[in-house]
Amino acid sequence: MSDAATIAKRHLLAVDGMPEVGELTPSSVQIVVHDDWAASAAGQFLVICLVNLLVRQAKFVSRVSVLAKTSALQVRLPSGRTIAPFPECLPEIGLWAVLDAIPVSTEQMRQADFTIFVGPPLGMPQSDAGHALAVVGAGWLAWIGDPSAATDVAHPRSKNPLGPFLAASLASGEIYKRVRGIRRGRYLESNGYSLWSGQSAPDYLELEDGPELVGLNLQPLHIAGLGAVGNGLAYIIANADFHDPYIVLIDDDSYDGTNLNRCVLAGWVNLEQPKVQSVSDALNLAGVPNLPFKGTVRQYLARPITGLRQDVAEATANLEFHVVASCVDKGISRHDVQGLHPKLLLGGSTLDLKARANVYSLWPGAACLGCHNPAERDGEKLRALEKQLNAMPPDERRRFLEQNALDSLAIEQHLAEAKCGTVGEAALRDFASRSAPEFSVGFVSLGASLLLASALFRHTLFADSNSRVADMTTLNYLNGGFSDAGLSADHKCELGCRTSMQT
C-alpha cells in the first residue's frame, strides 16, 4: 500500500491565507468531458494532467472518476506507454503515481462532491454534480469558473500543452482550496489567463492567444534542478512536439515519499531513485534527446562529461551556456547557476500558493539570480552542531545521533580527529544544513513550470513577434491574481552584480 500520510505531508503544512488543517473528509471528484474535447489533443492534455494532479492530493481527494466518450489517445501519459484508448487509460495514472492512495475510474458516481466540466458543461443534472466547475484550456489560454459563466469553446484545435496544463492546475487548485478552506483570497468564478500576453479576463474570448509550438526548433537547454518545477518543465517540453530539441538534466537528489505530491513525472516506483532518471526516461519516451547528470552544477563543470551532443559538448568545453533554466531551491545552488553566465537565464519557484518565473538580466540594473538569494551559511551551522555535540555526555550524544538516523561511528571518529572531508563530516553537514519542510503542492509547482516554460518559449522562439517584456511573472492561486512586474537588482547581492554592471 502507498503511504497517503507521507504523500500529503507537505500540502498539510501551514500556508499563508488558509486555516490549519484539522479533521478532513476527502472529497470525490468527477470529471465530465465534452465529446469534442475528449477527441482533441487539448482536451486529453487537460484531463490527463488534471488526473495526475488530483491523485497526488492525498487526504483531500478520495477518488476520481472521468466520464468521456471513448476516443483514440492523441497524447502521451506521464506514466509511460499505454495501449488503452482515452479515457480507459486514465486509471493507469493513479496506479503509477500513488498506487492505491486515490483510485481512478471511468464509471459514473452516484453522488460526487465536485464535478469538473471540461468544455461546455453538458451531460449531467446539476443535482448529481455536487459543487460544479467548468474549465477549458487550449493554445496559450486557460479559463475556469462557474458553469453558468462558461463560454462555448467546443472546437479545441491547438496541440500546445501550455493552456490545457494551466487549466488543469487551476482546477486542481480550486478543489484543494474548497476542501481546505480559505481565510482570505477568493474562489475563482470566471477567470481566464493568457500565458502569451500576460493578460487575465473573465471572458475566454477576450484573451489573446499565441502561436503554435509544434515543429519549431528549441535551442539546447540546461535544466538545473529536477524537483517539482524541473519535473513540470520537462513534462511540458516532452509534450510540445518540438523539432530537434536537446536537454541537459542536472540534479544530485533522489525522490522520497513527500515528492509524490508534486513531481508530475515521478511515481511510487521511482522512490529512492535519482530524479534525473525518471525525467530522462519520460523525455526518451517522448523522443526528446537528453543527457541526465546526477550531480551538482559544480560537479557538472568539474567532471569530463561523455555523451553530450557534439555542439553542446563544444560549447560546454568553452564554458558557453546559451539557455539555462534554474529550478533549484537553495541560495548557494542559485549562485552556482548564475556563475554559468548564460545568454538567457530563467528561474521558476513557488512560495505558499504563488507560482513565479523570473527572467534575469533583461536590462541594465535588472536582478541576477544571486539577487535576493543569499548563500546558506552551512559551514557556520556545521561548526555550531559540532560544538553542541562535543558538549554532550557520550550517552546523550549517542542517543541524539541514533534518534536522527546519523552514523554514530563515523561521526564519533570525525569529532575525535576533527578532519575535513570525512564521512562523518559530510553526514553532519547534511544534517546541519537541512532546511525545515515547507508547504508545497503539485498545482502550484506546475504553475511555476508553466510560467517558466512560456517565458522560455517567448524569449527563444518568438523574440521578434512578442512585445511582452516581463522580468517577473506571478500567478497567485489564492486569489487568482496574475501579473508581470520588474525585478530590480539587490544592492546587497553577494555576487556583486551591480558593481560588475558599473564597471
Question: Nearest 5 degrees, angle CA 235-CA 240-CA 241?
Answer: 120
C-alpha cell at 161: 500543452
Interhelix angle 442-461/228-240, rounded to 10 degrees, is: 50
pLDDT tens figures, 120-137: 887 666 557 789 999 999
Q: Reduce the DSSP state of residue 426 to 3 states and report it.
A: helix
C-alpha cell at 1: 500500500
Query: pTM score, two decimals?
Result: 0.91
Q: Where are the beta strands (DSSP E) in 113-265?
A: 114-118, 131-138, 141-145, 190-194, 200-201, 221-224, 247-251
The residues pairing with 224 across neighbouring beta strands, listed in sequence order, are 250, 326
Residue 410 CB burial class (10 angstroms; 0-12, 13-18, ≥19): middle
- pLDDT for 402: 83
- pLDDT for 154: 58
C-alpha cell at 321: 551556456
Pairing assessment for the beta strands 190-194 and 141-145 based on DSSP bridges: antiparallel
- pLDDT for 503: 38
Strand order in the sheet with 61-67: 104-105, 61-67, 27-33, 114-118, 131-138, 141-145, 190-194, 200-201
C-alpha cell at 53: 494532479
Residue labelled with grid coordinates 466540466: 117
399 sits in which H/E element: helix 394-403
Kindly state the DSSP code that residue 206 receives in the 8-state scheme. G
Q: Where are the alpha helices (DSSP H) in 255-309?
A: 275-285, 297-302
Q: Where are the alpha helices (DSSP H) in 271-393?
A: 275-285, 297-302, 310-317, 331-338, 378-390
The amino acid sitting at 479 is: N
C-alpha cell at 218: 528549441
What sign for the dihedral angle of Cα 239, 462, 156, 55? positive
* CATH numbers and ranges of domains, the chain: 4-206 (3.40.50.720), 221-373+439-502 (3.40.50.720)
- pLDDT for 421: 67
pLDDT tens figures, 224-269: 999 999 999 999 999 999 999 999 999 999 999 999 999 999 999 9
Question: What's the chain's Rg over C-alpha atoms?
Answer: 23
Interhelix angle 91-98/41-54, rounded to 10 degrees, is: 40
Residues (pLDDT < 50) of the chain are: 1, 501-503
Residues 6 or more apart from 160 whose CB is under 8 A from it? 42, 138, 139, 140, 210, 212, 213, 214, 240
* Terminal Cα-to-Cα distance of the chain (whole angstroms): 60
| CA dist 106 → 76, 103, 143 (Å) | 18, 10, 24
- pLDDT for 501: 45
Q: Where are the alpha helices (DSSP H) in 184-255?
A: 228-240
